[in-house]
């Protein structure tokens, strides 16, 4: 297909770009950072989201150089926000594909990128999916642990959709559970509290607390959902209520308006 033909050269042609979606503290409503989300400005098909090309990039191995470009671009952007908003310690969340976690150069690449961006490791959070991390080999886990030793945070993305192997959780180098939006959508969906969703989220927050992890809720679309999540003890929220994924220069204005 035309996607297969164009993907290998899309990186050198500069056809990828990032959008950023704000991460908001539920305790005080301030912007604490953003998740970087990759898009492809395709010459024929227009703007494509990751679902359209990340699987292909994984099959062809392009995900490793593409992922490195995402990290470089997102870390440089985070540093630019910090310069624009001194005293606001914005952090940047970057998705890490399973193949990137297995890449022997990962630790070296991430530390080099942080140094070149002049970004402190504490400002970077790598999002890894639950299934990728539970299925990861010792080398990938070791690499992630080395990064956490340097201060980089790791979030378990899409939590609650996979096997959720709780017995392994305490052995994984994870700082944050990122609760999948399918679980949030059931919460106060029609303005009414959903008892089952409440119970599941209560249990997940208490599990996170017991393991010393923070909790981020994805897909927060309504003020009712945010209120319930705050009451349940969730730390951070992301979703259309606060902002859709968008251009980097929208974030400082949003941070100012929500602070």
Which stretch, 38-46, 66-74, 156-164, 240-248, contacts Na ion (CB under 5 A)? 156-164
Closest separation in Å from C-beta 86 to ligand G:
28
Binder among 54, 71, 99, 127 for Mn ion (CB under 5 A)? 127
Residue nearest to ligand G (CB): 239
Number of helices (H), then strands (E), belonging to the chain: the values are: 12, 9
Q: Judge contact between 41 and 32, C-beta under 8 A.
A: no
CB under 5 to 8 A by kind: which of Na ion, Mn ion, ligand G, none does 50 bind?
Answer: ligand G
Q: Does 50 sit near ligand G (CB under 6 A)?
A: yes
Q: Which of 157, 172, 228, 229 forms a contact with Mn ion (CB under 5 A)?
A: 157
Q: Which residues of 203-241 are buried (b: 16+ CB within 10 A; e: fewer)?
A: ebbebbeeeebbbbbbbbbbebbbebbbebebbbbbbeb
Instruction: List CB contacts of 259: < 8 A, sequence separation 6 or more.
Output: 30, 31, 88
63 vs 107, beta carbon nearer Na ion: 63
| Three-state helix/strand/coil letters over 34-54 | EEEEEEEEECCCEEECHHHHH
User: Binds 37, which of Na ion, Mn ion, ligand G, none (CB < 5 to 8 A, cut-off by type)?
Assistant: ligand G
CB of 87 to ligand G, least distance (A): 27
| 180 lies in the site for Mn ion, by CB under 5 A | no
Residue 130 sits in the site that holds Na ion (CB under 5 A): no
Is 240 one of the binding residues for ligand G (CB under 6 A)? yes
Q: Smallest gap, in angstroms, from Cβ of residue 135 to ligand G? A: 15
Nearest residue (CB) to Na ion, 160 versus 173: 160
Print the binding letters for residues 158-177 with Na ion: x by CB under 5 A, - otherwise: x-------------------
**Three-class DSSP category at 130:** helix
Considering only CA atoms, which of 185, 145, 176 is closest in space to residue 23?
176
- Residues 110-145 as b or e (16 or more Cβ within 10 Å = b): beebbeebebbbebbbbbbbbbbbbebeeebbebbe
How many Cβ atoms sit within 10 Å of the Cβ of residue 73?
20
Q: What's the closest the beta carbon of residue 116 comes to Na ion, in angstroms?
A: 28
**Residue 175 engages ligand G in binding (rule: CB under 6 A):** no
Rounded to whole angstroms, how far apart are CA atoms 91 and 259?
A: 16
Instruction: Compare residues 32 and 37 and give the one whose CB is closer to ligand G.
Output: 37
Residues 131-160 within binding reach of ligand G (CB under 6 A): 157
Residues that bind Mn ion (CB under 5 A): 95, 127, 157
The residues that touch ligand G, with contacts defined as CB under 6 A, are 21, 37-38, 49-51, 54, 67, 70, 95, 97, 127, 157, 181, 218-221, 239-240, 245
């Amino acid at each position: 297909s035309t996607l297969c033909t164009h993907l290998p050269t899309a990186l050198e042609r500069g056809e990828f770009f990032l959008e950023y979606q704000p991460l908001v503290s539920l305790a005080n409503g301030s912007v604490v950072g953003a998740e970087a989300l990759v898009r492809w400005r395709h010459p024929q098909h227009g703007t494509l989201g990751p679902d359209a090309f990340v699987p292909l990039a994984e099959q062809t191995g392009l995900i490793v150089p593409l992922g490195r470009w995402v990290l470089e671009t997102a870390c440089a952007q985070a540093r630019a926000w910090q310069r624009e908003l001194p005293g606001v310690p914005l952090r940047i969340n970057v998705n890490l594909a399973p193949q990137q976690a297995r890449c022997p150069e990962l630790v070296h690449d991430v530390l080099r990128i942080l140094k070149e961006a002049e970004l402190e490791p504490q400002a970077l959070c790598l999002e890894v999916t639950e299934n990728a991390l539970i299925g990861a080999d010792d080398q990938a886990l070791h690499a992630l642990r080395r990064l956490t030793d340097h201060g980089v945070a790791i979030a378990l993305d899409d939590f609650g959709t996979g096997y959720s192997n709780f017995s392994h959780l305490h052995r994984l180098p994870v700082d944050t559970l990122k609760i999948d939006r399918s679980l949030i959508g059931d919460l106060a969906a029609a303005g009414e509290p959903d008892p089952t969703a409440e119970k599941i989220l209560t249990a997940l927050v208490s599990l996170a607390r017991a393991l010393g992890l923070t909790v981020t809720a994805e897909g927060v679309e309504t003020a009712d959902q945010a209120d319930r999540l705050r009451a349940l003890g969730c730390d951070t929220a992301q979703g259309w209520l606060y902002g859709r994924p968008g251009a980097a220069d929208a974030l400082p204005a949003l941070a100012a308006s929500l602070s």
